[in-house]
Chains A and B, each alone.
Chain A
Amino acid sequence: MVRLYTKHLNIGYGERIIVKDLSIGIPDRKITAIIGANGCGKSTLLKAITRIHKYESGAVILDGKNIANENTKALARKMAILPQTPESVSGLTVAELVSYGRFPYQKGFGPLTKRDYEMIEWALQVTRTSEFKDQSVDALSGGQRQRVWIAMALAQDTDIIFLDEPTTYLDMAHQLEILELLEKLNVQQGRTIVMVLHDLNQAARFADYIIALKTGQIVKAGSSEEVMTRDVLKEVYQIDAEIGRDPRTNKPMLMTYNLLKGVTI
């Protein structure tokens, strides 16, 4: 029994259909990675599931109810979304930005409650951003800023957190830092994490469940063992991949690859 799943989802921009007839369940309390080539519909799928993008037909079901008919504020207490490279927020301090995570809990003009402050404080601590909570978000480095955005999503106190390419634009150390933070949230608190990732080895290492998309349809969904195979990667990315083992985690690992001959991407 999964809390969140899609049923025959068709998503498009105007005339162009991006995702076709997609039915998939998101495993509870697990880390799910969505992978696929550019333009395959990864972000579109994420946006449709989180009601940011309206889909053409089908349904997204959370806790047995179609989210299209649910109160958007109530949904925001169940799932948080961190969009791809959020716009710059000139002038806001870290604590101010994180406090917006409490928006779904606020009523009218009411000030932040004790519970709100506790959650903000906790989110800052978990993401190790407390030390610069009074600094302007603009003044931070890329890695710090991404941790602040994650803090905001955490302050939202939801069971499910969606992230669209949370590691883009970060160097490899900071990428790992973000992924380890998400892993910790998953393991220690049982939060369901769903993210779009570009790096296959990161997906294989951190995700319990990988959804591989090609032109809006699922090529393969399953564990890293099932998805990180020559055949699947050939289909998804048009590459000839060499799969090995990560000597430390023993997870499947993309060692090297070539473009398939005669294929234009």
Chain B
Amino acid sequence: MQEQTHKIPYVYKFITAILIFAVIFFEACVLGAAHTEFKDVWLALTSQASSEHISLIRDIRLPREVAGIFVGAALAISGAIMQGLTRNPLADPGLLGLTFGANSALAITLAFVSSTDYLSITLACFVGAAVGAFMVFGIGVVKKGGLSPLRIVLAGAAVSAFLSAVAQGVGLYFKISKDVALWTSGGLIGVSWSQLKIIAPFIVVGIIVSFLLSRQLTVLSLSEELAIGLGQNTATIKFLLFIVIILLAGASVALVGNMTFIGLMVPHIVRAIIGTDYRFILPMSAIVGASFMLLADTIGRTINAPYETPIAAIVAVIGLPFFLFVVHKGGKFS
């Protein structure tokens, strides 16, 4: 039956994706402003050896690439879940107010909490992402019958503009604009192992829970009425998925700041490769999202070395045409 006819191709697709990911990962570690060899990367990863190059890779590039993997996977999965949950192909944590919500919460935390550590920043980002999401979907709830995909994006843009104004206002008033900008400019610069150690576990938990809920998400993505008819407790499932989205999007902002379009693009690409079953979409989104993030960061580091081109800019240059493409198709899933 279905499972049997598709089993082998699925495996091949995943193996291919993982191989591509591995190649991109090594390239990302090798390439950069400072010249390093593949050998250095290998030694940095597998041995205790130390040299200038190896410690550069271990302490500066590696945490950055690992953060890129986590953030890329987290954003792609949260985007996929949002698209399935809302049946809105334009859903993306960056477009629907979550990242800017986390942003403004981050600014407020920097302003009012004197000694900010990574954990409190992360927790603030969760709260902010939830507030942003509630505002956007709140607008949708007020209108009877909900909002169309495009209107939700408009609501997201309005809420995002408001929340980013809050962040800037707080930054200006408390004279911490520079600190806020440093956090939210959207980049992997300066990510450290200690930062990763605090934030990554949230992402890991979010991803694991998302995998556990993937079958439920598939049924829910068909139609809410069908899901109820098939015996799903939709209120509970939607609540859990919402928490997962907040965890993943909030943790991503805590690590790299704003990053729009990855959560939009990756699930669409993945659906074209692997179909509509979220048991396959979510893991594949994690791999493709991580690869995409690493690739964008590597381009950002090398295109104008030794200067960094902001990764958010590179993602946007690819992401905006993609967004317009999805809109052009009438906001439908491919």
Interface check B277, CB cutoff 8 A: yes
Interface check A132, CB cutoff 8 A: no
Q: List CB contacts (< 8 Å) of B310-334 with chain A.
A: 332-334
Among B212, B222, B229, B231, which residue has the most Cβ atoms of chain A within 10 A?
B229
Q: List CB contacts (< 8 Å) of A88-121 with chain B.
A: 89-93, 95-96, 99-101, 103-104, 106, 108-109, 111-112, 117, 120-121
Name the B residues within 8 Å of A50 (CB-CB). 228-229
Known contacts A87-B222, A89-B276: A104-B2 contact under CB 8 Å: no
Identify B334's interface contact among A83, A90, A100, CB under 8 A: A90
CA distance A50 to B219 in the complex (A): 17
Identify B332's interface contact among A89, A90, A99, A111, CB under 8 A: A90
Is A72 a contact partner of B232 (Cβ separation < 8 A)? yes
Among the stretches A56-64, A74-82, A209-217, the one at the interface with B is A74-82
Is B87 a contact partner of A91 (Cβ separation < 8 A)? no
Name the A residues within 8 Å of B275 (CB-CB). 91-92, 96
Interface check A180, CB cutoff 8 A: no
Name the A residues within 8 Å of B277 (CB-CB). 96
Is A52 a contact partner of B229 (Cβ separation < 8 A)? yes
Q: List CB contacts (< 8 Å) of A25-80 with chain B.
A: 47, 50-52, 72-77, 80
CA distance A80 to B226 in the complex (A): 9
CA distance A213 to B222 in the complex (A): 30
Name the A residues within 8 Å of B226 (CB-CB). 83, 86, 100
Is A51 a contact partner of B333 (Cβ separation < 8 A)? no
Name the B residues within 8 Å of A91 (CB-CB). 271, 275-276, 333-334
Identify A104's interface contact among B1, B218, B231, CB under 8 A: B231
- Interface residue tally on B, bucketed by range: 20 to 34
Interface check B49, CB cutoff 8 A: no
CB distance from A116 to the nearest CB of B (A): 9
User: How many residues of chain A have a CB within 8 Å of chain B?
Assistant: 39
Is A81 a contact partner of B225 (Cβ separation < 8 A)? yes
Interface check A134, CB cutoff 8 A: yes
Interface check B5, CB cutoff 8 A: yes
Closest A residue by C-beta to B233: A72
Name the B residues within 8 Å of A47 (CB-CB). 225
Is A95 a contact partner of B1 (Cβ separation < 8 A)? yes
Is B2 a contact partner of A99 (Cβ separation < 8 A)? yes
CA distance A134 to B219 in the complex (A): 19
CA distance A90 to B330 in the complex (A): 14
Name the B residues within 8 Å of A167 (CB-CB). none
Is A104 a contact partner of B222 (Cβ separation < 8 A)? no
Interface check B151, CB cutoff 8 A: no
Knowing that A90-B276, A104-B230, A133-B1 touch, tell me 12 more A-B residue pairs with CB under 8 angstroms: A72-B233, A83-B226, A87-B222, A91-B275, A92-B276, A96-B2, A100-B222, A103-B219, A109-B215, A111-B3, A112-B3, A134-B5
Q: Chain A interface (Cβ within 8 Å of chain B)? A: 47, 50-52, 72-77, 80-83, 86-87, 89-93, 95-96, 99-101, 103-104, 106, 108-109, 111-112, 117, 120-121, 133-134, 156
- 13 A–B contacts from the bound complex (CB under 8 Å): A72-B228, A74-B231, A76-B229, A76-B230, A76-B231, A81-B225, A81-B229, A90-B276, A95-B2, A96-B276, A108-B212, A109-B215, A156-B230
Q: Chain B interface (Cβ within 8 Å of chain A)? A: 1-3, 5, 87, 212, 215, 218-219, 222-223, 225-226, 228-233, 271, 275-277, 332-334
Which 3 interchain pairs have the tightest Cβ spacing? Answer: A76-B231, A73-B231, A81-B229
